[in-house]
Every structure is written in structure tokens, then in C-alpha cells.
Structure 1
Amino acid sequence: MDGYLGIILIVILVALLATGGMFLLFRPRERHAPPVKPPQAPTLPEREQAPPTGVIEDDTVTTTIPPPARPVEPVVVPEIEIPPPSAGRMVRLRARLARSQTSLGKGLLELLSRDRLDDDVWDEVEDTLITADVGVGPTRAMVEELRTKVKVLGSRDHGEVRGLLREQLLTLIGADMDRTLHTAPHGERPAVVLVVGVNGTGKTTTTGKLARALIGDGRKVVLGAADTFRAAAADQLQTWGERVGAEVVRKDEGADPASVAFDAVSKGIDDKVDTVIVDTAGRLHTKTGLMDELGKVKRVIEKKATVDEVLLVLDATTGQNGLRQAQVFAEVVNVTGIVLTKLDGTAKGGIVVSVQRELGVPVKLVGLGEGPDDLAPFDAEVFVDAILGNGDARP
């Protein structure tokens, strides 16, 4: 009995052990979430790779890559020219002047050298002078004087006639007028030159050429771009200044011209320059408001320095219309000198006589061409000799 009981206990024990093993064998295992991989930007094939500039984007990240540094372009500094000195410039340009004016002199000499000088001939002399813009009044006075002297001499030798004509022309042009251009500094202040005139006369070009001539003579110059109505005028003056090493004071288009002029003069005083040249807007002489503004420019300048020269630029081809312009400008700013431009392209040089006679203001400079050095001091004797051609012209 005890043996059976032992066997039964053993069987029960074995059964329990078997049941526990099966439980362990078939127990469900714990499941772990797979690791999360960080997102990666999509990769393009090698031949489709995006350039390494700009912004790269995907669904989760945006990366900005700075562009490669661009090479710095060198600043081109214009080469400063060394202008020739002004001494002798008028003599060098005499031939050019003579080519345009000789027809006037030849016509007069031919008429006065005729065997018979009747009223018809003297009328032709008058017409020739009037056509050359000498003016009716000066022409009649000159012809009357010539008629008297020819009668007294009783001779019409070519040399004598030329001498008489030369003498009368010099008297008309005013060989004894003071044509000094006041551009030298006085004390610690520079000379100030105000350049005025209507549109199209070559005013800005004259300003640049004058600066070039003064620098050629060893002067230090500041330019004031007070023509603020045209950006092109300031750009043009800037080009002139860069060519010869003159500093240009300018402001934005539409700025107050008087303030530009004031700043230019202040700059000239601070830098201790010799001459300040102020280019003004080309104003139509019929517009009173603009002419008043020109007077304001002059008054504002005078708060800092004396205005030594007011140069009125006239186109020699405009004839008597140029004379009317001169009269209006003279009333506003007290013109001290005339600059005649485009004198090389016309036989109307008699405008020199008309302007001076009406205003009592001398022609101080003449423009004889398009070249940068084609601005010269006016010399009455050289001018008359050029009109009459060779002969006793000065060397």
C-alpha cells in the first residue's frame, strides 16, 4: 500500500512539473517598438545634385547654404590729364578762327579796293557788316568814318585799305577794353566765378574747359554743379572734374541750386583752393521766376565770398537774339564778361561788337571748337587779323 502511494505521488509530481514547463514554454514574449531613425534629406543622383547655393528643403528640415563669395571688381579710377598751359592758346587757334572769319574780311577788302567807291559800294559794305551781326548802329558809324578817311587819303591801295579797315574794326571791338579774367584767390578766400546762360549755349562745357585751363596754369579748382534741373549736367561736369583732378560738389536732381553753390564755395574755402567755378542751370530769359532764382544763387554765394566774375555764355550763331539774352541776364546778376562759343563755325563774329557796345561788358573768352583745349582768352588784335587774313598779323 505504501508502495502504491509512493508511485502515485511520483506521478502527480511529474505531472505538475510537466504542466509548469509547458506554461513557461508557451508564455507570450514582450514586444519592443523598433528604433526610430532620424529623417534624412532626399539624395539626388549625382548628375542631378542641386548647386550648393540657396535653400534646400524637405518635409521636415530647411537648410540655408550661403552663396559663394563673388570676386570684388576693381574700381577704375580715371587717369588724370595734365592740361597744357593757356599761354599762347589763342595764337595756336588763330588758323581755325581765320578759316571761319576770313570771308568777312575778304569781302570788305574787295569792296573797298574797287576803283570807284560810289553809294552802291558803300551800301554793300554796310550790308556785309550787318550780315556779320555787327549791328546797324555800329555799322553806320564805321562806314561813315571809312568814307571820310578814304576821301582824305585819295588812295585805295590794298595795304592802305586794309590798314584803315583794321583800325576801324579794332575801334569797334574795343582793343583797349580790360579783358582780365579774375580767377586768382584773395587772402584766404578763393576767387568765385559764376557761369550763366540759356540752354544750348555750351555753358557746362565752358565751365569744364575753364577749369581745365586754370589747372593747366597750376591753379587748384573746385566745381559747383548748381544746374540741378538736369542730372546730365552734373554728370557732365563730374566727368570734366575727374579728367583734370578738380573736385565737384553736387547734390540730387531737384536740389536747391543756391545750396549747391554755397556748399561749393564752403568747400573751396576749407580746401584752400584758388578758384571755385559754379555752373548754373540754363535758364530761359523769358521766365522771370527762374531769373530771380539765379539772383538768389549769387546772393547766397556772397554770404561766404565775393563773386569775382559772372560770365555770360552766348552762342555766336544766335546773332541779335544773343544780344537780347545778354541784356536780361545783365539786369539780374551784373555780368562782368562774355564767353562766345561756336565762334569757329560762323562768319557772324560781329556779335562781339554788338554785345560789347550794348552792355559795356568785354568778351573775355571764346570757344573755337569741340576740343577740350579750344577755349581761349579773347584778343582783339588776333581776332581782327584773323578776319582780315594774313598781312600785318602778329606772329
Structure 2
Amino acid sequence: MDDIDPTEGRLHRLRGRLSRSQNAVGRSLLGLLGGGDLDEDSWEEVEDTLLVADLGSAATGEIVATLREQMAVRNVRSESEARALLREVLIDQLTPSFDRSIRALPHGDRPSVLLVVGVNGTGKTTTTGKLARVLVADGRRVVLGAADTFRAAAADQLQTWAERVGADVVRGKEGADPAAVAFDAVSRGIADGVDCVLVDTAGRLHTKTGLMDELGKVKRVIEKKAPVDDVLLVLDATIGQNGLAQARVFAQVVDITGVVLTKLDGTAKGGIVFQVQRELGVPVKLVGLGEGADDLAPFDPAAFVDALLG
């Protein structure tokens, strides 16, 4: 059994890793804003900097408009004043009021049920394993459901994660019906009186209808046993716009309640966080910041913006 890093303060411990790749954005913005009065060319550069960082045109437009207005109102003249304003505007754009808790507390007579969805290759199964570690570290009893039955490797991978933390895995034969495996996992969770059942689903995007039918069915079948509390969409932060197209497909299939952004340490474009939340109207709840088993951290808008600004 592994020793698991405490979850408290993870984002701060990982901040160095985040800011190394990302504070180029912060530096150029502060350089532009720090002098006060900006001409049109400078405002265009501010806009370009935000767009290049993957914030998307809607968020960029709002941020620039607010900055222009507030720079004048507050008479910003120094880099530290510019930094304070920029920090405030960026945090606000990340909707700090969102509930970012993972709904993994049991309900009296039954466990909570979390569905993990996303395209294969985004780190979905790994994220499920890392999330199990977080929950176990917080004292929860967990059952994992290996409902990605199209890849034998996915179930094996989940089994390995589970063994390392002392969680049980329910799996089917290769090619088994994913909904049946998910149903069995929830049934086992109820029978064993665990706190939380985490179900890893298949993420084949070859046809939208195939994916829709399958995920829709998994959720329907689970709900014969127990409500689904959280549907977490795993997205790879390094794929930018493409990831948003994927996100939309999943959002049409199941009600996504939160996003996990993996590989956030590998992108100079942390702005994808802004776009994803805006596009889906749900919070980024967790971020993956590396290959380590304990590199999954709760997302905190203020800590993230501080890393962005370096």
C-alpha cells in the first residue's frame, strides 16, 4: 500500500511547476499594463497576448473591456497596481463562486456515485486512479468500476491503481456491456457499504451517436440503483480548441458537473481553463500537474491566477 501525499496545499506545492511554463503570459501583460496610459496598439497587444494564451475571444473581450475601464478609474501607474487589478479581473473571470467540491460523500444508505468521462488518451483512467487516491487519503472507502470494457488495458490499469490504495475494482470481460459493469460496481458499493463508487467509462469518439448511446445507457442503468452525484469530464489541457470541441460532444450526452484538466503543467496556455468553464458553464474542479501519482490537485482560481502571473 502506498503512502499518499496529503491533498491540502497541493496546488501551492505544484505552483512552481505551473508557473515555469505559464508566467510568460503574466510577464508580457504586466509589462504592457504597468506603465499606465495605453495607446490602441498596446491594447491590441494585451488582447493578442490573452488570445495566444487560449483564453478565447469572449473571455478576452470581457477582460480587456474591464481592464480599460478600471485602469482609467483607478489611475493605474505602476506594475504592482497593474498586477493587483489584473489579478482581480482574472480571478473574477474564473467564477470563484462555483462549487468545486467533489461530491463523494455517502448518502446514509448508499454511496455517492461519480462518473468519469472523456476521450481516450486524455488521462481519464489515470485520473480515476488518482482521484481514488485522493478520496482514500481523505478517509473514504472506494469501489472502482472499470466500465471502459473496450480496452483491456484500461481495466488492468485501474486494477493497479486500486491495489496501490486498497480499493476494490469491479470489472467485466473484455467487450462486456459497460452499463452492466457500472451497475455491478454500484451494486457492490451499496452491498459493501462504501462511501463512493467511481466509474471509469469508455471514451471512443469515432461516432458521436455510438458514444451518446453508450454513455447515456451507462448513466440510465446506474440510476436504477442510485443517483449519479458527479459527472467529471477529463480534458487534456494541451490540445486547446480541439478539447473544447470534444467537451461539447460530451456535454450533449451527459450532464457534466465538473471538469478535470490534465497536463496543465505541459501547456504554456493556461487560458484553456477560462474557455472550458465559460463554454460548459461548469467549474474546473481538479487539475493534473504532472505524471506523479499525487499530482492531481483541487483547482483554486486565486492560486491559479497567481501562478499565471508568476
TM-score (structure 2 length as normaliser): 0.97
1:123 to 28, 35, 44: 44
Instruction: Give the conservation status (yes or no) of the 8 Å contact 1:193–1:309.
Output: yes
**CA distance in 2 between partners of 1:264 and 1:155 (Å):** 57
**CA distance in 1 between partners of 2:6 and 2:184 (Å):** 29
| Number of the residue aligned with 1:324 | 245
CA positional deviation for 1:290: 2.1
SS at match of 1:319: helix
SS at match of 2:291: coil
Matched, 1:234 2:155: yes
Query: Residues 138, 115 of structure 1: CA spacing in aligned structure 2 closer, same or farther, 3 A cutoff?
Result: closer
Instruction: Give the conservation status (yes or no) of the 8 Å contact 2:11–2:299.
Output: yes
Letter in structure 2 aligned against 1:351: I
| Number of the residue aligned with 2:276 | 355
Letter in structure 2 aligned against 1:296: K
Letter in structure 2 aligned against 1:179: R
1:244 to 165, 168, 173: 165
CA positional deviation for 1:202: 0.3
Instruction: Give the conservation status (yes or no) of the 8 Å contact 1:179–1:378.
Output: yes
Structure 1 stretch displaced more, 278-287 or 103-112: 278-287
| Number of the residue aligned with 1:149 | 70
Instruction: Give the conservation status (yes or no) of the 8 Å contact 2:35–2:78.
Output: no
**CA distance in 2 between partners of 1:234 and 1:226 (Å):** 8
Count matched residues: 310
**CA distance in 2 between partners of 1:149 and 1:115 (Å):** 11
**CA distance in 1 between partners of 2:105 and 2:15 (Å):** 27
Higher gyration radius (CA): 1
| Number of the residue aligned with 1:19 | none
SS at match of 1:240: helix
CA positional deviation for 1:286: 4.4
Instruction: Give the conservation status (yes or no) of the 8 Å contact 1:238–1:248.
Output: yes
2:7 to 62, 68, 86: 86
**CA distance in 2 between partners of 1:154 and 1:91 (Å):** 32
Question: Which structure 2 residues correspond to residues 20-99 of structure 1 after superposition, within 5 A?
Answer: 80-99=1-20
Matched, 1:345 2:266: yes
Cα root mean square deviation, aligned: 1.2
| Number of the residue aligned with 1:166 | 87
| Number of the residue aligned with 1:270 | 191
SS at match of 2:160: helix
Instruction: Give the conservation status (yes or no) of the 8 Å contact 2:34–2:81.
Output: no
| Number of the residue aligned with 2:289 | 368
**CA distance in 1 between partners of 2:265 and 2:12 (Å):** 14
| Number of the residue aligned with 1:13 | none
CA positional deviation for 1:107: 1.2
**CA distance in 1 between partners of 2:191 and 2:239 (Å):** 40
SS at match of 1:84: coil
Gaps of 5+ in 1: 1-79, 390-395
| Number of the residue aligned with 1:180 | 101
SS at match of 1:307: coil
SS at match of 1:306: coil
Query: Residues 324, 331 of structure 1: CA spacing in aligned structure 2 closer, same or farther, 3 A cutoff?
Result: same
Instruction: Give the conservation status (yes or no) of the 8 Å contact 1:191–1:307.
Output: yes
Show CA shifts across 1:161-214 (max 9, x none): 001100110111111211111001001100100000012110000000000111
Instruction: Give the conservation status (yes or no) of the 8 Å contact 1:283–1:291.
Output: no
Instruction: Give the conservation status (yes or no) of the 8 Å contact 1:90–1:379.
Output: yes
| Number of the residue aligned with 1:209 | 130
Letter in structure 2 aligned against 1:170: I
Higher RCO, 1 vs 2 (CA within 8 Å, ≥6 residues apart): 2
2:145 to 224, 230, 250: 224
| Number of the residue aligned with 1:254 | 175
**CA distance in 1 between partners of 2:4 and 2:34 (Å):** 44
| Number of the residue aligned with 2:209 | 288
SS at match of 1:174: coil
Show CA shifts across 1:58-98 (max 9, x none): xxxxxxxxxxxxxxxxxxxxxx1132331222222122112
Quick check: which one's helix share is greater? 2
TM-score (structure 1 length as normaliser): 0.77
% same residue: 70
Gaps of 5+ in 2: none
Instruction: Give the conservation status (yes or no) of the 8 Å contact 1:285–1:329.
Output: no
SS at match of 1:192: strand
Matched, 1:279 2:200: yes
**CA distance in 2 between partners of 1:380 and 1:116 (Å):** 28
Matched, 1:314 2:232: no
Letter in structure 2 aligned against 1:195: V
1:299 to 202, 220, 236: 220
**CA distance in 2 between partners of 1:381 and 1:258 (Å):** 39
